[in-house]
Amino acid sequence: MLLVETKINKSNQHGLGCFATKLIKVGTKIWEFDPRIDFRYSEDDLKNYPDSFAKIVRFYGFTEKNEGIKYYILCGDHARHINHSDDPNLSPNIKENCDYAKRDIFPGEELTANYYEYYVDPEDGLNKHIG
């Protein structure tokens, strides 16, 4: 769940992106997993849903591994539009299952993450955003 105000807009990174609407100071907690808003699906879970929904989860979700099982995390808010950058302004805290501002983020600036710091299989995320 995003803990800061954002909006969706056209992204120079890829398609749509998640943008700050107010100044976000370095060190601010930006996002944290909240099971009321964000959802965790395994491949076995996705077999119980229509293929059309499973495709959405695989496209918008990021991957994590928990007790040896790969899960897709589908954010239930604008966070699903956070795009990859080699020089991101977000930094993950895997133990706390949250993200912090790596530096000050200004209004109108796109929130970005380095998928190599998040995804179990970063190429899964990056391949979504190529072409």
Read off the CATH number of the domain in which 119 is found: 2.170.270.10
DSSP string, 32-70: E--TTT-EEEEHHHHTTS-HHHHHHHHHH-EEEEETTEE
In a domain, 17, yes or no: yes
Global pTM? 0.83
Looking at the 3D structure of the chain, how many domains does it have? 1
What is the extent of the structural domain holding 102?
6-125
Kindly report, residue by residue over 34-87, the tens digit of the pLDDT: 999 999 999 999 999 999 999 999 888 888 877 778 889 999 999 999 998 999
Summarised one tens digit per residue, pLDDT across range 77-128 is 999 999 989 999 999 888 888 999 999 999 999 999 988 876 666 555 555 5
Residue 101 lies in a domain: yes
Res 20 pLDDT > 80: yes
4 Cβ neighbours under 8 A, 6+ residues apart:
20, 22, 24, 28, 30
Q: Is residue 55 part of a domain?
A: yes
Residue 70: closest CA among 1, 31, 122 = 122
Task: Report yes or no on 131 lying in a domain.
Answer: no
- Could you tell me if residue 83 is inside a domain? yes
Q: Indicate whether 119 belongs to any domain.
A: yes
**Domain for residue 1, yes or no?**
no
